[in-house]
A and B are shown apart, each in its own frame.
Chain A
Amino acid sequence: MRLAFAAIATALALIAQPARAVQPDEMLANPALEARAEAVGRELRCLVCRNQSVEDSDAGLAHDLRVLIRQRIARGETNTQVVAYIRSRYGDFVLLKPPFKLDTALLWGGPFLLVLLGAGLAWRFYRRQPPVATPPLSEDEQRRLSALLDDGAQP
């Protein structure tokens, strides 16, 4: 019973799609243009809820931005032009993927810096370890080793 329930829950979770906030009356009739509008909306942050894209958010501002994106795309603007316009109004924060600039250099470069730092520390640490010299076997050990080896050779 419990297993069946878990199986059903898993199956439902697998077929579930994230709910989209786009209303049917907002959509463009031309599917190619609508797909472009969606792509633009996915790149843009809804500034009311902050961590949802304009395409996912139910906020009033996100609705207005979706309408604006579709108006501009229907008017013949490129995706880049639409994004540039909205960025000129709301700044870089509206882009879900921040551009590489001087003030975002630490954000983009940080992980690489940490890897370099770790590699440097590891290199210093291992270089400092003296190579471990293995002392030669004593006579007694040598005899026991030969006995074991001989033993193994004669089943």
Chain B
Amino acid sequence: MKRRRWVFLAPAAVFGLMAAAFYWGLGLDTMVLPSPLIDEPAPHFALPPLPGHRDGFSSADLKGHVSVVNAFASWCVPCRDEQPALNALARTKRVPIYGIDYEDKPADALAWIGALGDPYTRIGADSGQVGIDWGIYGVPETFLVDADGRIRYKHVGPLTEADIHRTILPLVARLER
């Protein structure tokens, strides 16, 4: 009879375990997917410039120094939140920021950087195919590329100034070593 008593506790124990698992699951951000491109060479591409700009953005720009690559679009609302943080990063002059203007109208993109500030060293206009090469599925996305042209870090969603100081700048320093 004594052996049987624990059986009555089993449903409560199962419930407890499931509740703990679901509570843990609630805290997960399912929008962020692990990228298989981490530690892989950045894709080969050559993007044309925005109208009126001299340079586009191509894989050759990434060689020889650590770079930040930021995919944005004028139609993307979170990108608007992110722009002050990118401007702050640009002001540190610590690392060049390259922009991939993702599936955007060039005129809208020009108006957008005119209004919100232009933190980019170079911008390439992408109709979507280069975005696939980078594994982009939603803007904004930000990559750190090391001096050998390998992707070393990816951030999905808008960067905050806290992200810049806590994650991006320390990683830049580590990758430069």
A64→B129 contact, CB < 8 A: yes
Pair A91/B35 contact, Cβ less than 8 Å: yes
Q: Which of B34, B35, B128 contacts A60 (CB 8 A)?
A: B128
Complex contact B36–A48 (CB within 8 A): no
The smallest beta-carbon distance between A72 and chain B, in angstroms, is 11
A104 to B132, CA, bound (A): 25
Residue of B131, B132, B137 with most chain A CB atoms under a 10 A cut-off = B137
Q: Note all chain B residues with C-beta closer than 8 A to A87.
A: 36
Given A60-B128, A64-B129, the answer on whether A90 and B135 have CB atoms closer than 8 Å is: yes
Interface of A is mostly: helix
Interface range on chain A (Cβ under 8 Å from partner): 10 to 19
The answer to whether A48 and B137 touch across the interface, beta carbons within 8 angstroms, is yes
Q: Does B148 contact A (CB under 8 A)?
A: no
Chain B contacts for A90, CB-based, 8 A? 33, 36, 135, 137
Q: For residue B75, which residue of chain A has the nearest CB?
A: A60
Contacts of B35 in A (CB 8 A): 91
Would you call B49 an interface residue if the criterion is a C-beta within 8 Å of the partner chain's C-beta atoms? no
- For B134, the chain A residues whose CB sits under 8 A away are 89
* A93 interface contact, C-beta 8 A: yes
Task: Count A-B pairs with CB separation below 8 Å.
Answer: 44
Q: Which residues of A contact B82 (CB under 8 A)?
A: none
A21 close to B (CB within 8 Å) = no
**Chain A residues whose C-beta falls within 8 Å of the C-beta of B137 in the assembled complex:** 47-48, 61, 90
Q: Which residues in window 57-94 of A have CB below 8 A to B?
A: 60-61, 63-65, 67-68, 86-93
Q: Give, as a whole number of angstroms, the nearest-CB distance from A28 to chain B.
A: 17
Q: Are B36 and A89 in contact (CB under 8 A)?
A: yes
B contacts with A, residue count (CB < 8 A):
15
The answer, yes or no, to whether B163 is at the interface (CB within 8 Å) is no
Whole-angstrom CA separation of A127 from B70 in the bound complex: 65
Output the nearest chain B residue to A64 by Cβ-Cβ distance. Answer: B128
B133 an interface residue at 8 Å Cβ cutoff? yes
What 0/1 readout, one digit per residue, does chain A (87-130) give for beta carbons within 8 Å of chain B?
11111110000000000000000000000000000000000000
B103: CB under 8 A from chain A? yes
Contact, CB under 8 Å: A89 / B128: no
Chain A residues packing against B (C-beta within 8 Å) = 47-48, 60-61, 63-65, 67-68, 86-93
Apart from A86-B132, A91-B36, what 18 extra A-B contacts exist at CB < 8 Å? A47-B33, A47-B137, A60-B128, A61-B132, A64-B103, A64-B128, A67-B129, A88-B36, A89-B36, A89-B133, A89-B134, A89-B135, A90-B33, A90-B36, A91-B35, A91-B135, A92-B36, A93-B33
9 CB-based A-B contacts, threshold 8 Å: A60-B128, A64-B103, A68-B132, A89-B135, A90-B33, A90-B135, A91-B35, A92-B36, A93-B33
